[in-house]
């Protein structure tokens, strides 16, 4: 469902581009969905939130 959210808002300058995704297994054999996104050089959302405190 996250992928659908990333695909829809094309053209918004604040949304990173979604290139695709795939399922892989982690070290415990659990399924993990990997999102392939555009690189954002401005830092992470976590960094931005910490910086604004």
pTM assigned to the model = 0.52
**DSSP code per residue over the chain:** -HHHHHHTTTT-TTSPPEEEEEEEE-TTS-EEEEEEE---TT--HHHHHHHH-
Give the per-residue pLDDT at 12: 67
Neighbours of 18 (CB within 10 A): 19
Q: What CA–CA distances, in Å, run from 16 to 7, 24, 27, 46? A: 10, 22, 28, 16
Q: What are the extents of the domains in the chain?
A: 2-52
pLDDT tens-digit map of 1-53: 666 766 666 666 666 788 888 999 999 999 998 888 888 777 777 887 888 87
| CA angle in degrees (0–180, nearest 5) for 37-33-8 | 50
């Amino acid at each position: 469902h996250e992928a659908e959210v990333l695909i829809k808002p094309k053209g918004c300058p604040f949304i990173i581009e979604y290139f695709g995704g795939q399922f892989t297994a982690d070290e415990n054999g659990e399924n993990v969905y990997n999102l392939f996104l555009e690189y954002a050089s401005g830092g992470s959302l976590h960094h931005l939130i910490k910086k604004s405190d």
